[in-house]
Amino acid sequence: MNIGIYGGSFDPPHLGHLNVVLNELNVGFLDKIVVVPCFQQTGKDLAHFYYRFTMCQRMFGDLPNVFVSKVEEILGGESITLRTIEHFKRSSEYEYANLYLIVGEDIANAIPNWKGGNELLKLVNLRVSKRSRFNSTNIRNDINGNKNHTTKSIANYMQCNYVYALLGVYL
pLDDT digits (tens, 9 = 90+) for 73-123: 999 999 999 999 999 999 999 989 999 999 988 889 999 999 999 999 999
Structural domain contains residue 108: yes
DSSP state of 107: H
C-alpha–C-alpha distance, residues 66 and 58, integer Å: 12
> What phi and psi values does residue 74 have, to the nearest 5 degrees?
-65, -45
Q: Is residue 148 part of a domain?
A: no
In a domain, 64, yes or no: yes
Q: Considering its fold, how many domains does the chain have in total?
A: 1
| Of residues 47, 54, 60, 58, the one with CA closest to residue 11 | 47
Residue 61: which CATH number?
3.40.50.620
Question: Could you tell me if residue 141 is inside a domain?
Answer: no
pTM of the model: 0.89
Quick check: is 79 in a domain? yes
Distance CA 57, CA 80 (A): 22
Mean pLDDT, residues 136-151: 64
Q: How far apart are CA 169 and CA 171, in angstroms?
A: 6
> What kind and span of H or E run contains 141?
helix 136-141
Terminal Cα distance for the chain, rounded: 47
pLDDT band at 170 (very low <50, low <70, confident <90, very high): very low
Structural domain span for residue 107: 2-133
Is position 139 within any domain? no
Q: Is residue 31 part of a domain?
A: yes
Residue 169 falls inside a structural domain: no
